[in-house]
Structure 1
Amino acid sequence: MKTEIIAEPGKQELFIHREFDAPIELVYKAFSDPNILLKFFAPKGINMHFLLKEYEEGKAYRYRHTDEEGKTLCTFRGVVHEMSAPNRIVITSELEELPILGRAILEIYEFTALKEDRTKLIVQDVCRSVEDRDMMIKSGMEGGIVSIFENLDELLNAGI
């Protein structure tokens, strides 16, 4: 499957489009269950560890990505604002290693059921400024997102 990232010049947002060969309930569950997130929500060769695992509506979460030796690569924190199974998840996300904190991103995950038990996912990331959005794109996020979705494909093919 092809991951498409749409980032129009001069806008604070970007969109990520991806289709999965799995029913909407299974794809939604993968993005809403912290035990499943641990299995795929990091690029290949990187491990994910929840530091605060209350991944439910109205609660805070915090996780860290580490390399194979256990060295911290990055830490994210945020709040889960909405979980409307199986169609929508809304969270905030902030990279703790940025030199200036307070650059949280609003992330809206929209899941749509397609024919033949397939699912379309559209993620809308809304940044505080155009500069923040452009910095995120220049960080190499695309490769990480593609890798994460490939990890999820493998889990979905195995029935999670």
Structure 2
Amino acid sequence: MYSQTLELSHSNTQRTLKLKNQTQNMELKTKIHAEDGKQEIFIIREFDLPVELLFKAYTEAELFEQWMGTKVTKFENQPHGSYRFETSNPQGEVMFSANGTIHDIVQNEKIIRTFQMENTPFPAQIEFLTFEKLTGNTSKITIQTIYKSIDFRDQHLKMPFAQGINMAHNRLQELFK
């Protein structure tokens, strides 16, 4: 269905993970940038949505469930609040769960939080979500994720999370049409 290719850019030795839909042979809209020798990635996506709606989609449990395809079990979007969500298969078995703590939140501007995938070898990550108004009806999110090590970051890049976040972002865009 989807494949991921790693394309090396000759400037700044920056790697840009570009995802392509093999069926339609088109580049997907959510970009993931991972620079060699750093333990971080940047996830960047522009939306045809006002920044206020984009922020709500990330902070209101009912909306988050719709576009992420997960069940929110806890969602305290305030400093020192926590969150938890899980994804189940059609038989109701939990296949994936994640949790974290909100460290800072400024409406329509930023969220700083930890992110922990449960029952995986990955330690907690810290995420800096920045919401940017481009025009009255367009916005951009930039998510900087910092891993404990370059090795953990590289292991995560080998997983299909990039396709998942792109599909989720596509659902987010469609949610408000």
Looking at both structures, which has the greater relative contact order when contacts are Cα pairs under 8 Å and sequence separation is at least 6?
1
Counterpart in the other structure of 1:45: none
Return the alpha-carbon distance in structure 2 between the equivalents of residues 75 and 37 of structure 1: 14
Q: How does 1:1-160 map to 2 (within 5 A)?
A: 2-42=29-69, 48-99=70-121, 103-157=123-177
Distance 2:102 2:66 in 1: 19
- Structure 1 distance, partners of 2:136, 2:72, is 34
TM-score by structure 2 length?
A: 0.80
Question: Any gaps of 5 or more consecutive residues in structure 1?
Answer: 43-47
Greater share of residues in strand:
2
Question: Which range moved further: 105-114 or 53-62?
Answer: 53-62
Deviation at 1:114, TM superposition (A): 0.8
Deviations 1:70-119 (A, max 9, x none): 121111011011110111011111011114x6x10111111111125100
Aligned residue identity for 1:23 = P
Amino acid at match of 2:167: S
Consecutive unaligned residues in structure 2, runs of 5 or more: 1-27
User: Take 1:59 and 1:116, find their aligned partners in 2: how far apart are those partners?
Assistant: 30
For 1:54 and 1:32, how far apart are their aligned partners in 2?
A: 9
Asked whether the equivalents of residues 147 and 153 of structure 2 are also in contact (C-alpha less than 8 Å), the reply is yes
Counting aligned pairs with the same residue, the percent is 30
When normalised by structure 1's length, the TM-score is: 0.88
Query: Which structure has the greater CA radius of gyration?
Result: 2
Root-mean-square deviation (CA, aligned residues, Å) is 1.5
Superposed CA deviations along residues 25-74 of structure 1, whole A, max 9, x for unmatched, are: 111111111121111113xxxxx122323333211211111122212111
In 1, are the aligned partners of 2:86 and 2:97 still within 8 Å (CA)?
Answer: yes
Runs of 4+ in structure 1 off by over 4 angstroms are none
For residue 36 of structure 1, give the secondary structure of its aligned residue in structure 2.
helix
Deviations 1:111-149 (A, max 9, x none): 111125100111100111101111111111111111110
**Contact preservation (8 Å) 2:77, 2:105:** no
